[in-house]
Amino acid sequence: MRQPTREEIIDKLKMILSGQLTREEVADWASEYVMQDDPNISDETVWELLILACGVDLKDSPDEYLHVEEDIIDWINKYSN
């Protein structure tokens, strides 16, 4: 499995904001990389983004996500080139 790029992860986060992907879809996608027995992620920034993406679907209550849209925007801004 090839390593995703920073841009790919940021694009997935943007797709959450635009409604093209659900939080659960992005978290599931990122988890495929993070949950590997021996993750082949050499870029530390990519790893940090994957960890964030894995938790984007965590809930604070039955009706609210732990990370609000502003958090996702902050991640995008922080990790964009």
Has residue 47 been placed in a domain? yes
* CA 63 vs CA 25, 27, 58, 60: distances in Å: 18, 18, 11, 8
Please state, in angstroms and rounded to a whole number, the distance separating the CA atoms of residues 10 and 21: 12
Has residue 1 been placed in a domain? no
46 in Cβ contact with 4 (< 8 Å): yes
Number of domains, the chain: 1
Residue-range definition of the domain harbouring residue 25: 6-79
pLDDT value at position 38? 86
- Global pTM reads 0.93
- pLDDT, one tens digit per residue, over 26-47 is 999 999 999 998 888 999 999 9
Please state, in angstroms and rounded to a whole number, the distance separating the CA atoms of residues 62 and 40: 34
pLDDT value at position 69? 97
